[in-house]
Amino acid sequence: MNLYVGNLNYKVRESDLRKVMEEYGTVDSIRIITDRETKRSKGFAFVEMPNEAEAQSAIQALNEAEYVGRPMVVKEALPKN
């Protein structure tokens, strides 16, 4: 399942987010989205978790949970239109 993780502190790195997400299960990949020109984080990421039950558990536990001073938004990522 592909998850959207938003409202991240700009200082959060992929390795930091991986540690948090792996508490709920296996993580295949993490992509923090960055600005093309400045290479600065845009404050959101996509996390791929192969097990749907683990992904749902992460959503339940982490949505609106405070992480590095900001309440995260964690939900199933919607396909691009």
Hey, what domains does the chain have and what are their CATH numbers? 2-74 (3.30.70.330)
Confidence of residue 81 (pLDDT cuts 50, 70, 90): confident
Whether the per-residue pLDDT at 79 is higher than 90: the answer is no
* pLDDT for the residue numbered 80: 78
Dist. CA 24–CA 30, nearest whole Å:
14
Residues in Cβ contact with 19 at an 8 Å cutoff, skipping those fewer than 6 apart: none
Compute the average pLDDT of residues 20-25.
Answer: 97
Q: What is the pLDDT of residues 28-71, one digit of tens each?
A: 999 999 999 999 999 999 999 999 999 999 999 999 999 999 99
**Most distant pair of Cα atoms in the chain: their distance:** 37
